[in-house]
Amino acid sequence: MNPGAGLRDGAAIATAGPVRVIGTGLLGASLGLALARHGVPVQLADASPAASALARDLGAGDLVATADAMPEPALVVVAVPPDVTSDAVAEALRAHPGAVVTDVASVKAVVLAELRAQRERGDLIGSDLARYVGSHPMAGRERSGAAAADPDLFASRPWVIAPHEDSSSAAELAVRTLAVDVGGIPVRMAAGEHDEAVAVVSHVPQVVASLTASLLTDTPTEALGLAGQGLRDVTRIAASDPRLWSAILVGNAGAVAARLARVREEIDTLVAALERAAAEGPLTPGAMAAASAVVRRGNDGVARIPGKHGGVRRTYAEVTVLVPDEPGALGRLFAQVGELDVNIEDFEMEHAPRQRVGLAMLSVMPDAATALEEGLTARGWRVVVA
Amino acid sequence: MNPGAGLRDGAAIATAGPVRVIGTGLLGASLGLALARHGVPVQLADASPAASALARDLGAGDLVATADAMPEPALVVVAVPPDVTSDAVAEALRAHPGAVVTDVASVKAVVLAELRAQRERGDLIGSDLARYVGSHPMAGRERSGAAAADPDLFASRPWVIAPHEDSSSAAELAVRTLAVDVGGIPVRMAAGEHDEAVAVVSHVPQVVASLTASLLTDTPTEALGLAGQGLRDVTRIAASDPRLWSAILVGNAGAVAARLARVREEIDTLVAALERAAAEGPLTPGAMAAASAVVRRGNDGVARIPGKHGGVRRTYAEVTVLVPDEPGALGRLFAQVGELDVNIEDFEMEHAPRQRVGLAMLSVMPDAATALEEGLTARGWRVVVA
């Protein structure tokens, strides 16, 4: 049985090629791979010839440079960093007067504003903007570049489509079709609405992760030895690319600054309360209330994040199992979970420092937890249901 | 074969009982379970009779209330919230003049300072403090209470032991022995040193997670639909208990306030740069540099977090596999990984909204990635090596 077969085959591709991909980093190369897999002709261009050659070698399409007689693209996808996106989009609109043009930058309003400024200056003609619809696949990873490309990068991820007052419905449909063809879930949003949304769900989390990790630069090594899963989770995305992220943050400067200013206000209030407590003792009036309010509001906010399958976050039972760190141990565990016919809803692995053992935390529907616990215990696993 | 057998059996227990556990929440009940499993007599006490009865029913020990003729404890472990810890420790020192007393609160300096104040007031006699050595097992979870207790909670986790100028080496040894007996890894640190360390690796991450999650309370539902793994990771611990965490933050007020003040300064600088960029455009001098500096310092900090087995974070190859969301799918995957004789170093599961498919990300040693990719592909999985 092929568990992924339903995803790979059978889906008809509606995107009319050729598709020209400008910028062959992670997103551009992944898109090329996804389209080329379905036989859509892809034309690859990048300011770095080495980058586009790598993408070609990976199977993401053909190089533009070698094909003077290349047919005109029906669709151009600009996949360059946010700060150079609008210029690349304008150039594509001028160079390919019959093509629909989209971009995949993480910020949308600034790109649209810059394109409108170009039209006002006469660098674009009036009808050009009808062929442009910006977009943003919510698909990234800490690694960048074509080497990290993946034709399934967009599978099951939201892909924001941002039409505007001048865009044609035909252009919007072409971009939407592209998103669906590579497995994304199209979500229609105005550029400004998109930028406000990603400021909260992506850009501010990046900043706070980076700032929290920054504190570790001068923390003694012994202190770092106390780090647990909480710190690791909060700071995981702090490993992201500074070049890309500075362009994103500056490209969404207004929305990000407004949210960060709110965070700063909350920190101000808390720091003032804690400084009073440090000076006057922990029972200083207001200190406990200020600290408690911060944590309670956090409880309320995190409960609103949609869970698996887009529903409200479900409460699973968690079954924790000690797993020796050796080849096949997780395999044995999951094979035996499979024998018990229990579906794992979520899975986390925790590793303690300096020990060759891990804690596997299996999330299951509450009514399956007891059977799983008993079945694994009977099979000799060290297991606990919380 | 019993994969956990080496952990459960064979380890000699050196802790001399009886051990009295005061406070039967998550930590107290887990400790009782861990000791009772090895036959150490445990005496349970809690301000809430229902809480201690639950812990007894779970097998964590005997109730103090029912045992007037109970033998004097050799060791008392105070496991109550930080703000009531010093009073409970002082009471235990007075009530059990032959016992060593420790506590497991997440803050250490304030407890010690309050005990010294009690001695100055004459509420403790001079030699009492020789029998007190504070400690802090780095083992928590988002859930609290005896119902979440787990005898393996301390397994392979650091357990800070904080002797002080008045403590005896016999008392320190007793606490250290307790930590080792329940599977913890003892780490010796002065109280102040501990508090500075946990401010950075635990308390500030809790605050920034809570503040980031707070922003979601008034975020539109459509925006939340764009949430990805980054937001989920950053805000996971925002689900923590406000009662416990307000006591922790206020109990470590000085160290937390100092770190938060640094975060606030960095936010100030970034907000000022972003506000200039919002007003004057993204190419405003200094804006990109300010944003880039934040992300770069975050890169440097996160790289210092120790990886698995206490070493420097290793770079693994990541193999991503699409997994249909059905019973046995993960079991099949791991069984086949086991057949390929590849050790999974780490594992993450990502779920996209509204789709019944997940992305399993398997971290393996780089030289194992190609074999794993080819083996799984040959077995029909949809798989990509980044």
Closest partner residue to B260 (CB to CB) among A160, A271, A277 is A271
User: What's the average model confidence in pLDDT over B155-159?
Assistant: 89
pLDDT reported for residue A12: 67
Residue A290 shares a structural domain with residue A340: no
Any bridge partners for residue A385, and if so which? A319
SS3 of residue B215 by DSSP: helix
Please tell me the number of Cα atoms within 13 Å of A175 on its side-chain side.
30
Same domain, A145 and A24: yes
Cβ atoms of A375 and A336 within 8 Å: the answer is: yes
Specify the pLDDT at position A281.
87
**Residue A71 in domain:** yes
Cis previous bond, B18, omega within 30: yes
Same domain, A333 and A253: no
Predicted pLDDT at B2? 33
- pLDDT of B243 over the 50 cut: yes
Asked whether the beta carbons of A351 and B308 are under 8 A apart, the reply is yes
A355: pLDDT strictly greater than 60: no
Residue B21: how many other CB atoms lie within 10 Å: 29
* pLDDT at residue B172, rounded to an integer: 96
Chain A CB within 8 Å of residue B253 CB:
yes
CATH number reported for the structural domain that contains residue B135 in this entry = 3.40.50.720
Cβ-based neighbour number of residue A279 at 10 Å: 11
Q: Which of A159, A189, A219 is the last residue of a domain?
A: A189
CB A249 to CB B157 under 8 A?
no
> Which residues fall within 8 angstroms of residue A217, CB to CB, at 6 or more apart?
B297, B300, B301, B304
Residue B337 is predicted with a pLDDT of 84
d(CA A256, CA A246): 12
Sign of CA dihedral A284, A290, A296, A302: negative
Q: What is the pLDDT of residue B308?
A: 43
Are A111 and A172 contained in the same domain? yes
Q: So what's the pLDDT on residue B350?
A: 65
50-79 in chain B: CB under 8 A from chain A = none
Residue A4 is assigned to a structural domain of this protein: no
In a domain, A352, yes or no: yes
The rounded distance, in Å, linking the Cα atoms of B183 and B247 is: 27
CB within 8 Å of B256: residues ≥ 6 apart: A274, B199, B203, B204, B207, B249
* Alpha carbon of A111: minimum distance to chain B alpha carbons (Å): 11
Lowest mean pLDDT: which of A110-124, A289-303, A360-374, B291-305? A360-374
Alpha-carbon distance A42 to A58, whole Å?
13
Residue B191 tokens, joined: 């109280």
**Separation of alpha carbons B101 and B28, rounded Å:** 14
DSSP string, A8-63: HSSPPP---S-EEEE--SHHHHHHHHHHHHTT--EEEE-SSHHHHHHHHHTTS-EE
> Residue A250 is part of which domain span?
197-302
Average pLDDT over residues A54-73: 84
| Chain B residues close to A268, C-beta within 8 Å | 264
pLDDT in the model for residue A384: 56
Least confident of A47-51, A122-126, B265-269, B332-336: B332-336
Instruction: Give residue A28's pLDDT band: very low, low, confident or very high (50, 70, 90).
Output: very high
A310 located within any domain: no
User: CA B7, CA B10: separation in Å to the nearest integer?
Assistant: 8
CATH number for the domain spanning A362: value is: 3.30.70.260
Mean pLDDT for all residues in chain A: 87
Which range among A5-19, A331-345, B365-379 has the greatest average pLDDT?
Answer: B365-379
Within a domain: B309: no
Q: Do B250 and A214 touch (CB under 8 A)?
A: no
Is the same domain home to A22 and A157?
yes
pLDDT, residue A162, reads 98
Cβ distance of A215 and B187 shorter than 8 Å: no
**Average pLDDT estimate for A248-252:** 96
What is the model's pLDDT at position A160?
A: 97
Radius of gyration of the CA atoms of chain A, in A: 25
For residue A74, the model assigns a pLDDT of 97
What percent of chain B stands above pLDDT 90? 62
Instruction: Decide if B230 and A251 are in contact by the 8 Å CB cutoff.
Output: no
Interface of B with A in 4-23 (CB under 8 A): 4-8
Is B1 a member of any domain?
A: no
Read off the pLDDT of residues B188-231 as tens digits, 9 standing for 90 and up.
Answer: 999 999 999 999 999 999 999 999 999 999 999 999 999 988 99
Residues B284 and B381 in one domain: no
CB B179 within 8 A of CB B134: no
Q: Is A117 left (phi over 0), alpha (psi -120 to 50) or beta?
A: alpha
Q: What is the mean pLDDT of residues A138-151?
A: 80
Tally of domains in chain A = 3
**pLDDT in the model for residue B312:** 41
**A366 pLDDT more than 60:** yes
Residues A161, A96, single domain; the answer is yes
Contact at 8 Å (CB) between B298 and A211? yes
Of the residues B114, B196, B249, B370, the best mutation for testing chain A's interface (the one with the most A CB atoms within 10 Å of its CB) is B249
Chain A CB contacts of B325 below 8 Å: 309, 343
Taking the Cβ of residue A351 and every Cβ of chain B, the question of whether any pair is shorter than 8 Å is answered with: yes
Say yes or no: B144 contacts chain A, CB-CB below 8 A.
Answer: no
Q: Which residue did the predictor score with more confidence, A73 or B320?
A: A73
Residues A273, A248 share a domain: yes
Nearest to A156 by CA among B53, B373, B319, B360: B360
- The mean predicted confidence, pLDDT, of chain B is 87
Q: How confident is the model at residue A6 (pLDDT cuts 50, 70, 90)?
A: very low
Rounded (10°) CA dihedral B363, B200, A259, A234: 20
Residue A24 has pLDDT above 60, yes or no: yes
Q: Give all strands of the β-sheet with B134-137 in edge-to-edge order.
A: B134-137, B158-162, B185-188
Q: Identify whether A1 is part of a domain.
A: no
- Is there a contact between A248 and A107 (Cβ–Cβ < 8 Å)? yes
